[in-house]
Amino acid sequence: DSGVTQTPKHLITATGQRVTLRCSPRSGDLSVYWYQQSLDQGLQFLIQYYNGEERAKGNILERFSAQQFPDLHSELNLSSLELGDSALYFCASSSRLAGVKETQYFGPGTRLLVL
């Protein structure tokens, strides 16, 4: 158990809909990362938040957005869903000590199926 939790585990929805994926980082971790794992694209970085602020962006679609709340949990919002958005969405967290490279620990993922 990595200590990172994600809900829900599975999500089935229809095209055009909007969903919210939730992530709680390990206790004390300030950074949250979102990754998408699909058959087409493999594992890809979407976005990073650090202590409530967006820190880095990857190949995240404009239809997708994220935020990190004061209690450090994060949500990934996916809207106007398309069939191609079906994937496993991972959240990872790490602490950040000055001058120290930290390891990202991953949650169990949310499996999204768009029908």
Residues that bind another protein (CB under 8 A): 2, 31, 33, 35, 42-45, 48, 50, 55-56, 58, 88, 90, 92, 94, 96, 99-109, 111
Count Cβ neighbours within 10 Å for each residue of 22-45 and write b for 16 or more, e otherwise: ebbbbeebbbbbbbbeeeeeeeeb
Whose Cβ is closer to another protein: residue 45's or residue 79's?
45
CB 50 within 8 A of CB 30: yes
| Terminal Cα-to-Cα distance of the chain (whole angstroms) | 31
CB of 43 to another protein, least distance (A): 4
CB of 61 to another protein, least distance (A): 16
Whose Cβ is closer to another protein: residue 79's or residue 106's?
106
